[in-house]
Amino acid sequence: MVWIQKEIELAQRARGFHLVTDEVLTQVPELAEFRLGICQLFIKHTSASLALNENADPSVRVDMERHFSNCLAPENQSYYTHTFEGSDDMPAHLKNVLIGSSLMLPISEGALNLGLWQGIYLCEHRNRAGKRSVVITLNGE
């Protein structure tokens, strides 16, 4: 059994849902060493999330942002008390809790074993965020 752990940085992005599969894979060439295993990704932030979803039609990512921002965690709500960092701060934390901070993905024959239409999303919930750090842990043989 082999363990590899490393921290990568994802480029700064605007608020929204962004397909980052290729950016992640480029920074983890060690994945090719695994015949069988698990890849865990963990984002070290409370105002961004990681998700697995549609990788072909960009309108899915647009609709995800609209739904989360307009229906599930809208800004400028009078009941938010955590507003020191701006109107997008508390909604960003809510979205992180709803979507999650980590993904657990299977590794098969040196690659992530994703479905045909699946890709890794960086879900950026802040209007002005910086680069995002992700810890990647590979385990397998």
Banded pLDDT at 134 (limits 50, 70, 90): very high
pTM given for the model: 0.96
What value does the mean pLDDT of the chain take? 97
> Per residue in 95-119, pLDDT tens?
999 999 999 999 999 999 999 999 9
Q: Which residue range is the domain that position 59 belongs to?
A: 2-75+84-140
Look up residue 132 and give its DSSP letter.
E
> What pLDDT is attached to residue 100?
98
Phi, psi of 60 (to 5 degrees): -60, -45
Confirm if 23 and 134 have CB atoms less than 8 A apart. Answer: no
CATH number of the domain bearing residue 45: 2.60.120.460
Q: How many domains does the chain have?
A: 1
Banded pLDDT at 19 (limits 50, 70, 90): very high
